[in-house]
Structure 1
Amino acid sequence: MICWRIKKQNSYANSKSWREKIYSGTYHFPRDFRFSDLVVSVFHRDYNTVSTTFSEMEGITLERYIMEYRLRRVQELLVYSNDTQSAIACKLGYSSSAHLSRQFKAHSGFSLSHFKNIRQAKLLLTHRTDIYRSLMYTINRL
């Protein structure tokens, strides 16, 4: 019983590390990529076994977990990178930017442009802060 639990925990940890590697933005997705096929080839186990183990450990299905992780990565890339919507879709394995846009809107309730606007506001605030600091430095030198 203990041995089975350790094996389950190792499978769980491995599935999370593979998720991070694949959706880091540097993985080159083969045509018609399916995460489930990768899980089978990496773990040498039936996908349902790995998925069930993951669900028991995490309290959420592996599919849902991957989808939510990808959507968080989309948000991060929209706010903190200069990548276009098409580049983000490609980096994260979406079949098209339209597919990304539909899934993002359906699950977050926000459009992709909402997060691009956050990036623009962040850049504007950073620029204003830099101007303020420069002005304060000049005033203090007088």
Structure 2
Amino acid sequence: MKTYLAGCLLLLFASCGKEPVSQAPTSEKLIESYLSWNGDSLPAYPEGKPKISIVKVTIPPHSELPKHYHPVINAGILLKGELTVVDEKGNTLHMKAGDPIIEVVDLIHFGKNEGDIPAEIVVFYAGTDGKEIVVKAKP
């Protein structure tokens, strides 16, 4: 019992005189541009009722997404793994966890995970009601 009380008193006195550590909130702009990752200009936002979508995509190791395009402006951040994005013009972007992307619009592309862990990316789409956010490319 004496050992227990001594331990409690030691902890109490050890914390005395120390100011509590407090941190202020911070923000960090990850990306800002008028251009997509391949250098193309972003289009104007479409007319209509705005609709925001947020999608988490998981790409298994050693696999790739089908070729597709986005008819709306979108941007994302790779949360986990690595991802290589290739557009139909032959431009390539290699991403690692934490990297942001401003995606191409109306241009066929695909992502591939050449790594050994799943790649997870969260994508924010700025679309309109009734407009698709992802369209699979025709073979």
Which is helix-richer, 1 or 2? 1
TM-score clears 0.5: no
Q: Which one has more relative contact order, counting CA pairs under 8 Å at least 6 apart?
A: 2
Structure 2 length as normaliser, TM-score? 0.19
Which is strand-richer, 1 or 2? 2
Structure 1 length as normaliser, TM-score? 0.18
